[in-house]
Structure 1
């Protein structure tokens, strides 16, 4: 599968460009799209976990976790991103748009890591984060970085929904394939949380809120 998507020569530009690029990619019928149902964070906490103290997770907490994850994916997504491989740079003055590089597991070959380059847009007003994959980007020192080519580029959108005391974790991903790839959709569907919370929320509860968290529905 050939990697497509924006490069340093057809950069989407500022904050609006990142979100527009995601919307264009999502609307393209050639691409492979995946959008799981929203996760009701407090319902899953009550049904699947035991905690060291009572907790009502809020929208405010969920947005804070999303922002932290955007800047530090290796800390908040240790099952996906290789430890110490994440780097962010080229931040706008308001810190809502920046470039990011990290070594991530390939979607279909979980034992293999590749370099992923992304432009990131934080949208606090709508509590949404958009990640647009790039084939190449100028790095922190201006040297051109090139993403791995063993899988198609992909864009991701994470969003916070629901009410303050009933937050919903929402996300969707589009792979820039030349035709829909059922293998990617099946792999994503089979691995999505496995009935629990997204990993970054577990990390946030343990490391930021300092609350012990254990799954109760696993052997």
Structure 2
């Protein structure tokens, strides 16, 4: 696609590589699931802008939106070479995340983060190494392959869809990891980050219904 950014082109090149392990989760029909599976403290319906606002916030502060994935206190994000600069559309981040095949253990994940507000897509490119905000070397955990992730918003304002796909840079497709994502795909609830956005950012109480 001619309108791809370099980061998006890198993601697509990896996605097309048959050696790598790929997975796509079903698009999350946000308002349908909200209406069918939750009791809310006030009427709530998200439009595309709200879902994208969640993605932007999560990109810079994953610990607040995916606490079940990210080890508490392990996240930092910065603009390389500009200590103290406000995060913009391109920055890097480090966090300790649960390993895909050893979820009881955490490993350091290094990611370049690229926000495309026009397409409402955020692309995370896994990196083996880069320098921290003070120039000291960091090295990603080598117990699992590097991976790239892409989150986005699709659909309409009345029916926004949250999208997600991942590619792991493996020597050959790894069915063990695919099964992890197959299990994630059967979850009938909103992803954790959308629940937390409604509760913590919008300030609207949210309870999972037990009668569905």
Same fold? TM cut 0.5: yes
CA contact (8 A) 1:156 1:172 kept: yes
* Residues 51 and 75 of structure 1: CA distance in aligned 2, closer, same or farther (over 3 Å): same
C-alpha distance in 2, partners of 1:94/1:151? 28
C-alpha distance in 2, partners of 1:171/1:202? 16
Residues 20-78 of structure 1, C-alpha deviations (whole Å, 9 max, x = no match)? 22111101000000012211000111111110111111111100000000000011000
1:182 to 167, 172, 175: 175
Residues 112-139 of structure 1, C-alpha deviations (whole Å, 9 max, x = no match)? 0000000000000000000000000111
TM-score norm. by structure 2 comes to 0.92
C-alpha distance in 2, partners of 1:97/1:173? 19
Partner of 1:64: 53
**Residues paired across the two proteins, number:** 205
Alpha-carbon offset, residue 198 of structure 1? 1.0
Partner of 1:100: 93
CA contact (8 A) 1:193 1:199 kept: no
Partner of 1:138: 131
Structure 1 unmatched runs, 5+:
1-14
C-alpha distance in 2, partners of 1:76/1:90? 21
- SS for the counterpart of 1:54 is coil
2:5 to 16, 20, 38: 16
Structure 2 unmatched runs, 5+:
none
Partner of 2:166: 173
1:117-128 residue pairs with structure 2 within 5 A? 117-128=110-121
Query: RMSD of aligned C-alpha atoms?
Result: 1.8
- SS for the counterpart of 1:121 is strand
* Residues 51 and 193 of structure 1: CA distance in aligned 2, closer, same or farther (over 3 Å): farther
* Residues 83 and 193 of structure 1: CA distance in aligned 2, closer, same or farther (over 3 Å): farther
Partner of 1:12: none
1:1-219 residue pairs with structure 2 within 5 A? 16-90=5-79, 95-192=88-185, 194-217=187-210
CA contact (8 A) 2:25 2:184 kept: no
CA contact (8 A) 1:50 1:215 kept: yes
Alpha-carbon offset, residue 17 of structure 1? 2.7
C-alpha distance in 1, partners of 2:185/2:54? 18
Residues 76-107 of structure 1, C-alpha deviations (whole Å, 9 max, x = no match)? 00010011111001268881000110000001
